[in-house]
Structure 1
Amino acid sequence: MPMQIEGGGTSMFETVKNHEERIISLEEADKKHEERLQELEKNSLKLENTIMQENRDTRTTMKEQTEKLFHLVDNAMGYQSSKTAQDHELKVLKIKTYTDVLLKVTAAGGLLYVVITEFIMK
């Protein structure tokens, strides 16, 4: 039974015991706070690593997409140059063909006349 001090107070033993219980309670609360802090730090580190990994993945994807786009543009520019050259070659070939046909028709005009007149006249 606790000893009563004159004036209705509690004994020194009770006061020390009360303080000890409060200290133990505070130490337990401090331990819980420390555990929560360590958990937060661990989660923060996980989040930081995740963000860094996502950043690397995003940069890699953007680099790949940029290279593909550059390749497409480069091919399109090459295609335009090739198309221009091909168009020019086609025009030259058409003119040459028309010239050859005209010369052959003119040279073979007499022969063609003979063939046509032979088939039509008969």
Structure 2
Amino acid sequence: MKFRLILLVLGWRLAWLARRHPGFRKQLEHRDVVMQWRTFDGRAARWYHFRPGHVASKRGLHPTPSVTLNFKDADYAFRTLKASGKNQMAFMEGMQAGDIKVEGDPGHLMWFMTLMKFIAGKA
């Protein structure tokens, strides 16, 4: 439940930034990326479509995401996302352990990480 809530709120934040933050909108120029976050079993899933000036978010699985971030389960995903604020290696450790898997173009994930300063309100 907590993981689903984080994904929902993230969608609201991304859409708000796309409407109101010029720096964030600049990052969306020339982008057409679908980023999907999900659990291995697909029971908790949400995707975000980044386009120039707009971010759309929907629950469920997208048929053709550009990149997918898979977590072993929702509880693990919540704990990892919570820990990543204090321990930036949390994602890397999860990937090395096989608890987090990236499918698709990892360059899109790296681009998304550059957006964190906007999401956290530090830009």
In our comparison, the structure showing a higher alpha carbon Rg is 1
More helix by share: 1
TM-score using structure 2 length: 0.18
Q: Which has the higher contact order (CA 8 A, sep 6+)?
A: 2
TM-score of the aligned structures, taking structure 1 as reference length = 0.18
